[in-house]
Every structure is written in C-alpha cells, then in structure tokens.
Structure 1
C-alpha cells in the first residue's frame, strides 16, 4: 500500500462486515459453535497454544490471543503447535521476499531515510538464521517485490518526483540490475505497488496513485489505477482497471484465479474514506487476460481496538487455496470460498511472506517490527523456492 501512516491514527466508526462471530473462550473450553456463518459445529475440541475462539462482544474485556479462531478450518492452518514470535525491531514495510539461496528475507524500508529525496527508501534484508537486518541498496521508493522463476528479485520502484516508476530485476548474487518496464503506451506509471510472477515468467503488478496522493510523484499521466502484465519479451498490457487503489495480488495454486486487494479506504493523503473499497477481488485467468471480476471478501478489523475499518494490503495463498491478507489487526485467513477462518494477530501488519524448506513459516512486517509465525501449511506460488528445495 502507500507509505502514509497517518490514516492509522484517525478515529473513524468501526464497521464490522463479518456476520455471526462467536464467543472467545480459553483453550481449556471445548469449541461448540465456531463457524462465522453458523454452519459448522465442533464438540470438545481444545484450542492449540495461543489460540482462542473469537467473541464479537469481547472488545477490551480480555487480552487478545495470538490466534483468533472463527472457523474449524483455521485449526488446520494452525496445527497443534502454532508459534508467533517477535524477531526484531525494524521499520520493515513492503516486499517480503524469501531468497532460499542464502536463507534471507528481503523487504523495503525507510531505514535512516528521514530526508527526501536523498534517502527515500532502502532495500533491506534479514538473515533467517541470525535475525540480523542489514542494508542492501538505495532505491527509488521501492515497494512490493517477488522472485522470478530464475531467482532474480523483481522490484516495484514507485519513482520519485521527476524519476519514473518502473519494474526492475536484480540478481542477488551479482547485484546487477535491469529495468523490465517503465511505461504503458509511452505514459509513465503512477507508482507501481506490488508484483507477482506467473509460471510462464510473465510479471503482473498493480499501479495505484499513492505516489500522487502522497506528493512524491507528479500528476498521473494515465489518469486511472490499473493492473498490468509484462510479457517475457517486455510487452506491457493493462489487464484490469476500475480500482480505487489496486494493491496486493496473488495467483491461486493452479493459476486459474488472480486475487487483487483494493485499499481504497486508505486515500493516501492521511485520511480515511469509508465509502471506498476495502476488499479482496478475484478474477478468472484466461491465458494473458482476466475476466469475471467479483468480490472475494470485504475485509474489516475484528474489534474496536483499532481506529480504522481495515485495509487489506499484502496477499498470499497456500497449496490448499486459502487466502492470507495483511490487515491492520494482523493476518486474516480466508477459505477458498471467501469465508473468514481466523486471524493471526500482529497489529499494523502490512505484508507477509512464507519462508523455509517447507514454506510453512510466515514472516510478518509492520511499520516497526518483524515477526515469525510457524504454521501447518505450505505456501503456493513460490516457484523458485519450491524448485530449489525439491532439487536439494
């Protein structure tokens, strides 16, 4: 999403769009009525450590659990021993890319960057072995990132003032870089935000106008916020428009669906607009085109402990087709049909990425810290990591 933090501080009415949320109990109490939609029941099931059943009226009457359970399927995600751990303090924001060659996690950060335009945003990395965070390189307002299928880092560079936004690739061994795309039909992008790579090595990215709203970019040349596809030959095609603020995106495991978040409620100028979208949209993927757009889920914070309605940002999927999105109250997890299953509570979550040989450990970034979550799932879409670990 955009770099403005001010919207998080605005006190706006909480609008819960979730239906039929049930009582939160301790792990010693059996689950009896768990589903958010009231269509499932569980008898005498103990919660794993750190988990509890959500109660719509709990509010501030209890300390939040690490894992809030709304549906039985969330217990499959958590497994018997889920573990949420603080790793380190760091202004870690967007990106969230696992580089298996060196067991590193890359992210974008305004590390030591209080001045513009000299030090806008830096590319950083964290060792997954030691937890040490270190500087990699300066950028032109880097935001979302991913790996392509050969292991190169693909970065959304939003651009800065007169400098165009662009998509670049970086070889993380040699640090050689190249620009993949910097315009659509000769027009400069708004501020490329997040990116994903398909199995055919095509690049798909979102381009909201956060750079314009946050005043580090000039007026939009395109005049609307679109989603683009870059072919392996470098051809740039607009594949979807009609968004307020297209943001995170992820393919389903079979690549027949593309999920795209719309963070329209976060205007980008420090204000919140509750009339704008806070949704996950889903499209059918037909070769190089998208069709049949519909709302997969509307996303809101689960209680009154946060001042805003919620903004779904980064998004990932697992091999079972479940969808994970970073929201202000943490990582919300949805079934393949769009039912909210549960919450991994990391306040202010912006993005996340799966790491490790089994791709079952999630790294979560917010504006101030990095957390780790051990889960009972396997991430989908990390094709380079999957191929490398399979080969090993």
Structure 2
C-alpha cells in the first residue's frame, strides 16, 4: 500500500518548516497543510524519554521508559517508567513505581501496556502486562524459552490473533546488567492462549524494533548491530530494516522471503511504527525517517541528536522521545496508529 491522500495541493500550499525534510512528494500528504514540531516536556535531571513511547488514547497519557542512569539513592544502574499527561498545560510527568525489571519497549494491549523487561543480573526479564491505571500493577507473563532465560527483551508488538511478537538482543549482557546469554539474538512469538513460545526469526546481530504492516502480511524487523551496546559502533555491521512475508504453513505463521527494506543515512533504525497507509517510520540518528511500503525514503522529521522511539497520538500528532526531551509533531490529522487494537 501507499499513501492514498493527494499530495499535489499540499505541495503547492504548504510552507514546510526546517524541521521537516522532503525527499519525495508523497511526504507532503503525510505532513498535511500545517506541519509543526515543538518541545512539550524537558527534564535534564535524567534521560527519562528513551524508549517505548506508548500513547493511551482513552486517557491522553504517554508511557515511556528511561535510558539507564545511576539512581542517586541506591547508586545502582536503573531504568524507570514515566507517565506523561500530554493534554495538561503545562505538560506534566510522574515516575511510576513499577516492578518491571529494566523496562524497554512497550505496546498497547488489553487496555494497558505490554512491556519488555530486560531483567537484571539476578532477576529474569521477559514480558509484563501493566495496568494503565494507578497503581499500575504489572503481572509477569513469560521469561524464557523452555528452561533458558531470554537475554534482554527489547521491543514487542501484538498481532490480531492475540499473539505477542518480540525481539531479544544481547544488549543487556554487553551493558553489564544481564548474565552471559544462553540464547542467540532472535525474534519470538508467544501465544498467551496456549503459552507456546516459538523462535520466529534468527540471523540478527541485534534484533530491535518490529512492526506489522496494516494487513499483517508483512513484518518489519530492524537489526541495530552497528551499535554494539558498549558505547562503540561498527559501520560495517547492519543498521538495517528487514521485511518478511508472514506466511501460514501447516496452520502456523512463519516469516518467509527475508529482504532488505531500508537503511537510514544516520544512526540505527531503532523503534518502528507503521501508519494506516503502510508507510514505515523509524527512530534514527537524526530524527524520524519515513519510507513508503516500497522502501522509498519519503522524508524526515529532524530531531537534534536523534530519537530511539516515538508514537502516534490523536489527529495526526506524533510524540518523539529525545532522552531529556519529548517533542510533539503535528502531521496530517488523518494519520493514525495501527497499534490501538483495544
């Protein structure tokens, strides 16, 4: 699929702010008639706005996980979850008292948030379901593959059949927060009805973000192996989004026909999202990149120092995380998330 909105009128009438770079005329229909980018929240005390970026449309609240920082009380490396009220004036945030161990990615599920917990040296990571309502109780779902603990879960999506698909790189081990890996860096599918967990894809250096196309016939998975995890990078390793066909074989889903979908020019493609037209968005080294479903770079939303993740809000709004800042981009008001299943 491709963007179905007419971009001719937008191209003729829209004055594009410098925060938006157009590479293909189809990007005008994504930007809409009055694109805008603004900082709505800033906190320089710690990197509160790093990953997840889960927007809950029923409450207009945004949940996010921080980057690792040293807790001034315990003097230990930690990650916290923050809840941001994006409709408050001024925008407000609060740190939640969560039991998810070293949380990272998350997605809307069952009225709350399904989190990936990386785990610690002494605590199993895995998937956790957290209520979006105070006191935000979190329940453990699964933490390993038939006796072997997962490495350090990174991101997760929910399929229309209710299954959970998630990535499991070795970043936690490289960063010293997890024991030596007992599994390769892989992508998994978990069926909450049967509790069966399957390896659904391998052959990655650092599997990271993932997202389905709107019809769930395509799965996009990013490999961010270029970022080693210890503060170094290797430009000869993948910083690439791969596309797979979702095929049903013997009654079960398989990922087939692996192919390169896209690669950003700056940094790694971290968090992935797809809009209702099939355009693919990724958080990269200089902002949010947008590709058509055919892999053509349409444009960028430029963010100084880049972004790891972001989410769609209501009426074409996008919330972009930038470690110590949260940005709000106003795009075409008809754009919507494909993640709000319930």
* Alpha-carbon shift at residue 152 of structure 1 (Å): 2.3
Structure 2 residue 294 is matched with structure 1 residue 344: no
In 2, the alpha carbon distance for the partners of 1:113 and 1:135 equals 15
**Aligned length in residues:** 319
Per the alignment, residue 124 of structure 2 pairs with 164
How much has 1:66 moved relative to structure 2?
A: 0.5
Indicate the residue corresponding to 2:264 in structure 1. Answer: 299
Within 5 A, what are the aligned runs for 1:1-392? Answer: 45-46=11-12, 48-51=14-17, 65-90=18-43, 91=47, 92-110=49-67, 113-114=70-71, 118=76, 120-130=78-88, 131-138=91-98, 139-148=100-109, 150-173=110-133, 175-222=136-183, 224-233=184-193, 234-287=195-248, 288-301=253-266, 310-347=267-304, 348-356=306-314, 358=315, 360-376=316-332, 377-384=334-341
- Shift in CA distance, 237/45, structure 1 to aligned 2, threshold 3 Å: closer
TM normalised by structure 1 equals 0.77
- Larger-gyration structure (1/2): 1
Alpha-carbon distance in structure 2 between the residues aligned to 1:141 and 1:123 = 9
Q: Distance in 2 between matches of 1:316 and 1:379?
A: 11
Aligned mates of 1:195, 1:79 — CA distance in 2: 29
Deviation at 1:118, TM superposition (A): 4.7
Deviations 1:29-82 (A, max 9, x none): xxxxxxxxxxxxx8995473344xxxxxxxxxxxxx210111100111101101
Give the Cα separation in 1 of the matches to 2:11 and 2:112: 45
TM-superposition CA deviations, 1:15-39 (whole Å, max 9, x none) = xxxxxxxxxxxxxxxxxxxxxxxxx
How does the TM-score come out when normalised to structure 2?
A: 0.88
- The RMSD of aligned alpha carbons is 2.0
Gaps of 5+ in 2: 1-7
Q: Distance in 1 between matches of 2:67 and 2:285?
A: 19
Cα distance in structure 2, aligned partners of 1:235 and 1:334: 34
* Higher percent of residues as strand: 2
Identify unmatched segments of 5+ residues in structure 1: 1-41, 52-64, 302-309, 388-392
Q: 1:117: how far off? A: 7.1
Match of 2:5 in 1: none
8 Å CA contact 2:106–2:113 kept in 1: the answer is: yes
Q: 2:219 aligns to what SS in structure 1? A: strand
Q: Partner of 2:4 in structure 1?
A: none
